[in-house]
């Protein structure tokens, strides 16, 4: 079974390179577009990272399809920790603006808030994954496709990797003074576009409408769950633990 793709046209290829006994390799060319199947094999990871940051579909095909990367669950933990820290900074900044008294922080409560925000972030990520996978499954049923053709593993990996761009909001929150919320919303928008691009790669869906629906439903469900948890647990806890 062919597991590689040409990063230029998305067609399947048998191999990405030919390795010789001398240790040299020869890059394979795609039979359809005649381009090098995967030029990123010889590229520095920093260049691949920058191309992914520029939302290049070729970079996403290399990362999600042609690279054996199964540590996305570790990335998910890192993502939840970063998201929990972002939430903590936002909450503490809001509390500081409401209370002008120069009373000391209760660092025990800050640690508990960080753990609570980690649980919230993990719940939001799980809700996003479940919503995207469910929407994609319903789309396949609507189009009379076999659900076995749906790559749950690939979609999960694509969503997690695309959401890693949330870390771009951390410097803005730490160093920003006036426009922190603007930077935060810009990072959310960038993550949505990145998720759209990643899902286009792994689902190989020609109809961009269905990919947009999956992304829209996923992030809408995530925002609803986030608002519900915040109103039910986080806000009440902060009112009791503030300062």
Q: Using one digit for the tens of pLDDT, what is the confidence trace for 179-191?
A: 567 778 888 899 9
Report the alpha-carbon distance of residue 89 to residue 80 in Å, rounded. Answer: 14
Report the alpha-carbon distance of residue 178 to residue 173 in Å, rounded. Answer: 10
Q: Using one digit for the tens of pLDDT, what is the confidence trace for 112-164?
A: 888 888 999 999 999 999 999 999 999 888 887 776 556 888 999 999 999 98
3-state DSSP call for residue 55?
Answer: coil
DSSP string, 10-28: --EES-SEEE-TTS-EEE-
What is the biggest distance separating any 2 CA atoms in the chain, rounded to whole angstroms? Answer: 72
Mean of pLDDT over the chain: 84
Question: Does position 233 have pLDDT exceeding 70, yes or no?
Answer: no
Q: How does residue 243 score in pLDDT terms, banded at 50, 70 and 90? A: very low
Q: What b-and-e string marks burial along 231-241, b requiring 16 or more CB atoms within 10 Å of the CB? A: eeebeeebeee
**Cα angle 174-183-90, degrees, rounded to a multiple of 5:** 50
What share of the chain in percent tops pLDDT 90?
46
Spatial contact of 37 and 61, defined as CB atoms under 8 Å apart: no
Q: Which residues pair with 241 in a beta bridge?
A: none
Q: How does residue 91 score in pLDDT terms, banded at 50, 70 and 90? A: confident
Query: Which pLDDT belongs to residue 221?
Result: 94
Write the DSSP symbol of residue 3: -
Q: Using one digit for the tens of pLDDT, what is the confidence trace for 18-45?
A: 888 777 889 999 999 999 999 999 899 9
């Amino acid at each position: 079974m062919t597991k590689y793709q040409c990063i230029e046209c998305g067609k399947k290829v048998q191999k990405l390179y030919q390795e010789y006994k001398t240790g040299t390799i020869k890059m394979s060319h795609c039979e359809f577009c005649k381009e090098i199947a995967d030029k990123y094999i010889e590229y520095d990871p920093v260049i691949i990272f920058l191309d992914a940051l520029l939302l290049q579909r070729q970079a996403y095909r290399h990362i999600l399809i042609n690279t054996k990367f199964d540590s996305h669950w570790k990335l998910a933990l890192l993502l939840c920790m970063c998201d929990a820290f972002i939430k903590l900074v936002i909450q503490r900044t809001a509390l500081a603006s409401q209370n002008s008294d120069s009373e000391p922080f209760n660092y025990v409560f800050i640690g508990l808030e960080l753990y609570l925000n980690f649980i919230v972030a993990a719940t939001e990520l799980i809700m996003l994954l479940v919503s995207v996978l469910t929407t994609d499954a319903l789309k396949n049923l609507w189009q009379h496709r076999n659900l076995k053709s749906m790559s749950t593993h690939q979609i999960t990996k694509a969503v997690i990797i695309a959401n890693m761009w949330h870390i771009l909001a951390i410097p803005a929150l730490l160093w920003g003074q006036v426009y922190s919320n603007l930077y935060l919303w810009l990072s959310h928008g960038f993550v949505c576009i990145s998720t759209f691009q990643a899902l286009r790669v792994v689902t190989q869906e020609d109809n961009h409408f269905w990919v947009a629906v999956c992304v829209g439903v996923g992030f809408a469900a995530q925002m609803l769950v986030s608002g519900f948890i915040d109103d039910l647990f986080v806000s009440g806890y902060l009112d009791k633990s503030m300062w």
